[in-house]
Amino acid sequence: MARFGDGFRRRARRVRYKVRKSCGKPRFSVFRSERHIYVQIIDDSCGRTLCAASSVDKEFRAEGKTSNREAAGRIGAVIAKKALACGIKDVVFDRGGYKYHGRVQALAEGAREGGLLF
């Protein structure tokens, strides 16, 4: 059984197409599973990941629960801190096929509070 259906893949492809054609900014890409959330800032012009953070990292696993909105907000703040250290301030948000709701929304708000602009 496939984890993601055709509707999810279609939505994700549509979102990524719009994000990539919009501007030359790095892409703030989100992946969420049932237990964890992952985020990367990707430079599509050369296909490199500039920085990444996830709830699998040791410091988050020690803090407790990794699959709730609070953890997603903390991940957003961490990725914002890493991005600012790399000199990245403006990004384009790529939610993939996920709705802008719940953990994805908390992640975005945490990154905005951390200083990223999108």
Architecture of domain 6-114: 2-Layer Sandwich (3.30)
DSSP-derived pairing of the beta strands 92-94 and 37-43: unpaired
Residue 117 DSSP SS3: strand
In this prediction, residue 3 has a pLDDT band, given cuts at 50, 70 and 90, of: low
Reply yes or no on whether the pLDDT at 1 is more than 70. no
Contact 82, 17 (CB under 8 A): no
The count of C-alpha atoms lying within 13 angstroms of the C-alpha of 34, restricted to the half-sphere facing its C-beta, is: 2
- pLDDT number for residue 19: 80
DSSP 101: S
Average pLDDT on 22-27 reads 83
**pTM as predicted:** 0.85
Rounded Cα–Cα distance for residues 85 and 69 (Å): 25
For the chain, what is the mean pLDDT? 89
Tokens in use for 97? Answer: 């096929």
Give me the residue spans of the domains in the chain.
6-114
